[in-house]
Amino acid sequence: MDRIVIEGGRPLKGEVRIGGAKNAALPILASALLTDGWNTFDNVPNLMDVQSIERLLSHLGAVVERGPGEVRINAAGLKNSEAPYDLVRKMRASILVLGPLVARLKKARVSLPGGCAIGARPINIHLKALEEMGATLELKGGYVEAAAPRLRGKELFLDVPTVTGTENILMAAVLAEGRTIIRNAAREPEVSALADTLNRMGGRITGAGTSVITVDGVSSLSPVSTAIIPDRIEAGTFMVAAALTRGDVLLKGCDPAHQGALMDKLLMVGAKIQVEEGGIRVRGGDTIASVDVKTLPYPGFPTDMQAQFMVLMSVAKGLSVISETIFENRFIHVSELRRLGADIIVSGNTAAIKGVPALSGAPVMATDLRASASLVLAGLIAKGTTVVNRVYHLDRGYEKMEEKFARLGAAIKRIRD
Ligand code: EPU
């Protein structure tokens, strides 16, 4: 497997272009299953997770074509209602085909995603909602088998504002009979982006971006041409990197409106942030102050930025406390950061980080995407050489991360296996 080798100690300087959001692209590409003509999606990142959903959509009978930055999907020939284990196990977000399959083919057989490195990640809320809308569900041989000759709108209350759960419900409800009201819906920008796409297809969805979403079912949808929103987590990762290396980076093509919680924390840390025409400029301060962080559903601080922010706190002045409230096991990076010299103690879902003057390079590895990103950030400031192994995880969610950092002046390269 490829490795990334970094010589730490160079401040990042210059401009970086932020790509399309992985977690918006996945549900939006899946939503093409709801129509039977050519959809065109622009600003689609070329990532392993996106390739996984493309393979799954092809397997289901859709025609998928990829051009530079663009994906075209035609699901007129949708015939297969089964998402097999081999495709789902590679990417949990494959569960996003469940809603569209049930809505369009009236049935689905989807392999249950297992737990993953960051937690058990059940899908009980997705399933309960579909059942309440009239689907009959059975769990057999590791698969969820759904039959729904008629899906009816329903008032739903989600126990937890699950992101992909809200997205699956939207894609089922948009073609259901009558009105669905989703209470305690996820408010993430990726949910709003999906709702926006479904509305362009002819759906009638209001309230996306708030915790109450109303969907008035329609009988059919038409194909669309639309662009994927910028990736707020890729942008956040570069913002933290700029503050961490005491650099000066202009992030282009990102949306400042999606960065409220992170910008607030970075300002408290001492970074300078300027929202400019077409981007966000982040300059590192002379010292890095310690601040406490608690991950929360949007618009709270994103769990997908927790590992990266912990690297910043590992070299801050003083003690900080980071609480992870979304996933039960999302501190995989801690033991690797300790190997680089970070002083971190974990108790339950809380990490106490005592800032150290410097980290020092070492070989490291992580089994989760954002944890891997945090190790690259640590490598950017660690003295000496850091080798990040199993880059596979990074490639699931960051497009050419090492090339982007190299263009900003980092001494970083990929060693191909
Ligand atoms: N949950 C349940 N039951 C369910 C669904 C979720 O108990 O039926 C729990 C989960 O176990 C978790 C919490 O609810 O404790 C929130 O999980 P959520 O369902 O919101 O997460 P997700 O939809 O599986 C998406 C992103 C993740 C991101 C989370 C939280 C996609 C494809 N994935 O996952 O992204 O961390 O929301 O914001 O949108 C990543 O990109 O690295 C990543 C992991």
pLDDT digits (tens, 9 = 90+) for 357-375: 999 999 999 889 999 999 9
Atom of ligand 1 nearest to the CA of 120: 11
- Rounded to whole angstroms, how far apart are CA atoms 343 and 335? 10
Q: How many angstroms is it from 290 CA to the middle of ligand 1?
A: 28
Q: What is the pLDDT of residue 115?
A: 67
Tokens in use for 221? 């949808």
- Ligand 1 within 6 A of CB of 109: no
Atom of ligand 1 nearest to the CA of 298: 38
- Ligand 1 within 6 A of CB of 220: no
Q: Which residues partner with 156 through β-bridges?
A: 182
Active site residue 254: no
- Ligand 1 within 6 A of CB of 128: no
- Ligand 1 within 6 A of CB of 124: yes
DSSP reduced 3-state for 374: helix
**Nearest partner of 7 among 392, 404, 388, judged by Cα:** 388
Domain boundaries, the chain: 3-19+230-415, 22-227
Task: Give per-residue pLDDT as tens, 55-73.
Answer: 999 999 999 999 999 999 9
Q: Which residues in the chain show pLDDT less than 50?
A: none
CATH topology of domain 22-227: UDP-n-acetylglucosamine1-carboxyvinyl-transferase; Chain (3.65.10)
3.40.50.920, 1.10.3720.10, 3.65.10.10, 3.40.350.10: which CATH number matches 3-19+230-415?
A: 3.65.10.10
- Ligand 1 within 6 A of CB of 303: yes
Q: How many angstroms is it from 310 CA to the middle of ligand 1?
A: 20
**Percent helix, strand and coil across the chain, each to the nearest 5:** 35, 30, 35
Task: Report the nearest-CA residue for atom 25 of ligand 1.
Answer: 163
Q: Best mutation site among 162, 187, 370 for ligand 1, i.e. most ligand atoms within 8 A of its Cβ?
A: 162
Q: What is the pLDDT of residue 11?
A: 97
CB 323 within 8 A of CB 364: no
Task: Report the nearest-CA residue for atom 29 of ligand 1.
Answer: 163
82: left (phi over 0), alpha (psi -120 to 50) or beta: beta
The pLDDT > 70 percentage for the chain reads 100
Q: Which residues partner with 282 through β-bridges?
A: 249, 273
pTM passes above 0.75: yes
Q: What is the pLDDT of residue 121?
A: 86
Task: Report the nearest-CA residue for atom 17 of ligand 1.
Answer: 162
Identical fold for domains 3-19+230-415 and 22-227, yes or no, is: yes
Q: How many angstroms is it from 260 CA to the middle of ligand 1?
A: 20
- Across 238-278, the runs of DSSP E, i.e. the strands, are 248-252, 272-276
DSSP string over 134-196: T-EEEEETTEEEEE-SS-B--EEE-SS--HHHHHHHHHHHTTSBSEEEEET----HHHHHHHH
Q: How many angstroms is it from 368 CA to the middle of ligand 1?
A: 14
Crossing angle (nearest 10°) for helices 332-339 and 306-314: 30
Which residues, other chains included, contact 73 with Cβ-Cβ below 8 Å and sequence gap of 6+? 29, 32, 38, 39, 41, 57, 62, 63, 64, 65
With 0-12 CB in 10 A as exposed, 13-18 as middle and 19+ as buried, what is 155? exposed
**Nearest partner of 263 among 279, 254, 250, 274, judged by Cα:** 274
* Half-sphere exposure at residue 232, Cβ-oriented, CA atoms within 13 angstroms: 23
Task: Report the nearest-CA residue for atom 18 of ligand 1.
Answer: 162
Q: Catalytic pick from 112, 116, 117, 181?
A: 116
Q: What is the pLDDT of residue 1?
A: 82
